[in-house]
Amino acid sequence: MSGIRHPLGLPEGSVRALLALQICLQYWLLMLLPESIRVPVPLYLYFLLSVIFLFFVSRSRVSGANPNEFQDLQPLGIPAGLFRILLLGVTIGLTAYKYSQEGEAFLTFLTPKPEQLTAWPTLGIALVTGFTLGYFLRLLPVRDQPFVLTIQAWLSLIAMFMLVLDLVYQTFIQPGMQNKLTSTTWEAVIVAMIAFYFASRS
């Protein structure tokens, strides 16, 4: 096995797994809020869910590992594919359950509101920019250098912290507010950072 140090010193793919879990957790919690205080699904969350799709379909880039060592490189040490199956299973299960309980009202909840769509171009640019920069970094010979991995580690920590703040706001603070606050810039930064990280590490 190579001596490459992955971000945060975790098995390869673990940081992406944690980010994917945070994104899905926010979606799950928003779904589970009572209808009386439920807020619309933030548009940027759909962009982040599309990034998770990359996590589902990609295999971790294993540098210098042989097939017998591949098991040790799974995200968070979980057997191959199990983490993806759990995320996908819980998401589909909760979505199906809420639809069976609420029907068309739940579909309305999932449908972006017209006023949300004004942020679409900004979030789209953020997604494409972050993904493109991350993809080109992955092609560079310095991609596994310690200083690059350190930058990626800090970037992942900042993205996790921003996701936690937004999770708390969207799930626990905003539902009780009369005047909802949104920040397209904040959301675009989150999308760009996470897209960059996933593209540079996938």
Q: Mean of the pLDDT values across residues 136-152?
A: 86
Two tokens at 7? Answer: 């971000």
- Residue linked to tokens 């439920």: 38
**pLDDT of 52-98, one tens digit each?**
887 677 654 444 444 444 444 566 677 757 888 899 999 999 999 99
CA distance 38 to 36: 6
Read off the pLDDT band of 179 (50, 70, 90).
low
Higher per-residue pLDDT: 198 or 58: 198
Domain ranges of the chain: 8-201
176: number of Cβ within 10 Å: 8
Q: What does the DSSP 8-state code read for residue 169?
A: I
Lowest mean pLDDT among 46-50, 148-152, 171-175, 197-201: 171-175
Q: Mind listing the pLDDT tens digit for each residue in 104-132?
A: 989 999 999 998 899 999 999 999 999 99
